[in-house]
Amino acid sequence: MRTLFFLLQKEFIRIFRNRTLLPLIFSMPFVQLIVLPWAADYEIKHLDIAIVDADHSIASRRLADKLTASGYFRLTDFPATYDDAVPLIENDQADMILEIPRHFERDLSSGHACQLFAAVNAINGVKAGLGSAYLARVVTAFADDLRLEHRPEVSIASTPVIAISSLRRFNSAGNYRHFMVPAILTLLVTMISVYMCALNLVSEKESGTIEQMNVTPVGKFTFLLSKTIPFLAIGIFIFTVGLFAIARPLYGIIPVGNVALLYLYLFVYLTAMLGLGLLLSTSCQTQQQVMFVTFFFMMIFILMSGLFTPVESMPAWARAIARANPVTYFMEVCRMIILKGSGWSDIRRHLMITIGFAILFHLSAFLNYRKTT
C-alpha cells in the first residue's frame, strides 16, 4: 500500500508538470462541451432556394413569401427558367430549385391538380431529405389555405377532422441539446481515459524511466494500478464539472435519476476504458503508434455508439458492432439516468456487460505487460 501511494504521487507529479498534457485534460473537454452542443443540431435551417416562377401570380408570390417566412428557407434568386437555375445548384449558390408552373393560381383555386417541380442538391442526403419534407409541408399548408379562400364551402365539408394532442416526455421542450450533452460527456471521459492512460505508459517507455521501474520489486499489478487511478480521478472530476458546472447552468440539464447510480456506472465504465488504454499501451512502443491505434478505436467507438445514428436504425451487422462497443452502453445509461430517471433494474444489464469489458481489458493488459521490456 505504501508503494502504491508513492507511485501515485509520482504519477500526479508527472501529470501536473506536463505543460502539454494539462490543457488537453482540463481545458479542451470543457471547451468542447460548451461549443459542440450548440453546433450539433439535426434541424436544418436556412436552406438556399431558387424559385422559377412561370405563373407570376399573386399566389406564386405568396408561396415564395411563405417559404421564406417559415425560417427553413432563404430565397437566393428568381431565375427566369429552370435552365438558368441549374448553375446555381452546380455552383453551390442554391440547395434547392422550386419551379412553379403556369396557371398555378388558376388550377389551385379551381380545385384542379397542380404539379410543382423541385430539384434538390442531394450530396448531403439528410439535408436533402429534410429540406424536401419541409418544402412539402409548407406547400401543402399553403395549398389548403388558398383553396379555402377561393372555395369557402370546402371549410364546412363533412370530411371528419382528426386532431392529435401530444406530450413530450423526458424532454418537454424537445431540445436536441438535452440529447447531445450526455453523449458528449461520455465521449470526453472516454477520450481522457483511453488516450491519456495509453500515452502516459508509452511516454515512460520512450523516456526510459519504465526500465528503471522494471528492475524494482514493484509488482505488475501495483504498477498498472498506479497508472489507472490518476486518470480515474481525472475522469470523474471532468464528468462532475461537465454535468453540474456546465450542463446544468448552460443547458438547464438536471439529472432526473439517481446520481449515485450514475457515478457507480461511471466508475465501472472508466475502469473498463482505462483497461483498454493499458492494453493498447502494452502493445505499442512509441507515442506515435499508440496515437494511431487509439484513434482507430475511437473512430469506431464514436461512429458506432449511437451518437449520430440511433443503434436501432443501423443494419444488423452495424448493430452487432455497436453492441460490442462499451461506449454504446454508457451513452445509453447517461441518457437513461439523466433524462429519463431510470433505475437499477433498467441499467443492470448494461452494468454487467461493462463489468465484463473491464475484466477482459484489464486481464488482457496484465497478461500482455512484460516487466522485461
The amino acid sitting at 274 is L
- State how many domains the chain has: 2
Q: What confidence tens digit (pLDDT) does each residue in 305-358 have?
A: 887 777 887 888 988 999 999 999 999 999 999 999 999 999 999 999 999 999
**162 within a domain of the structure (yes/no):** no
Q: Does pLDDT of 42 surpass 70?
A: no
Q: What confidence tens digit (pLDDT) does each residue in 51-105 have?
A: 999 988 888 899 899 998 988 899 998 999 999 999 998 888 899 999 998 888 8
Starting at the edge strand found earlier in the chain, the sheet holding 47-53 runs: 73-77, 47-53, 96-100, 117-120
Cell of 78: 428568381
The per-residue pLDDT of the chain, averaged, comes to 84
CA distance from start to end of the chain: 25
pLDDT at 158: 45
Which has the closest alpha carbon to 238: 193, 178, 176?
193
User: What is the span of the domain harbouring residue 282?
Assistant: 2-40+172-368
Q: Which residues contact 333 (CB under 8 A, 6 or more apart)?
A: 262, 265, 342, 347, 350, 351
Is residue 167 very low, low, confident or very high in pLDDT (cuts 50, 70, 90)?
Answer: low
Question: For the chain, what is the total number of helices (H) and then of strands (E)?
Answer: 17, 4
Which has the closest alpha carbon to 251: 243, 259, 260?
243
CA distance 206 to 183: 34
Evaluated on CA atoms 87, 91, 94, 97, the torsion sign reads: positive
Q: What confidence tens digit (pLDDT) does each residue in 23-40 have?
A: 777 787 888 888 888 776
**Residue in the structure block whose three cell numbers are 450514475:** 262
Percent of the chain with pLDDT over 70: 91
Instruction: Note the residue count of the chain.
Output: 373
Is residue 372 very low, low, confident or very high in pLDDT (cuts 50, 70, 90)?
Answer: low
Q: Both 101 and 35 in a single domain? A: no
Is residue 166 very low, low, confident or very high in pLDDT (cuts 50, 70, 90)?
Answer: low
Which has the closest alpha carbon to 312: 299, 290, 328, 288?
328
pLDDT at 324: 93
**167 within a domain of the structure (yes/no):** no
Q: Both 119 and 12 in a single domain? A: no
Q: Both 254 and 357 in a single domain? A: yes
pLDDT at 156: 44
Q: What confidence tens digit (pLDDT) does each residue in 111-135 have?
A: 677 889 999 988 877 778 888 888 8
Q: Does pLDDT of 142 surpass 50?
A: yes
Q: Mapping DSSP to helix (H, G, I), strand (E, B) and coil, where does residue 221 land? A: helix
Final residue in a domain of this structure, among 156, 181, 201:
156
CA distance 359 to 224: 14
Read off the CATH number of the domain in which 68 is found. Answer: 3.40.1710.10
Q: Both 8 and 122 in a single domain? A: no
User: Among 120-134, 201-215, 224-238, which range has the highest average pLDDT?
Assistant: 224-238
Q: Both 204 and 352 in a single domain? A: yes
Q: Both 6 and 139 in a single domain? A: no
Q: Both 129 and 261 in a single domain? A: no
Q: Both 84 and 208 in a single domain? A: no
DSSP lists the bridge partners of residue 75 as: 49
CA distance 165 to 157: 23
The amino acid sitting at 131 is G
The amino acid sitting at 94 is A
Question: What are the distances in angstroms from CA 316 to CA 312, 321, 323, 354?
Answer: 9, 9, 11, 22
Number of C-beta neighbours around residue 236 at 10 A: 15
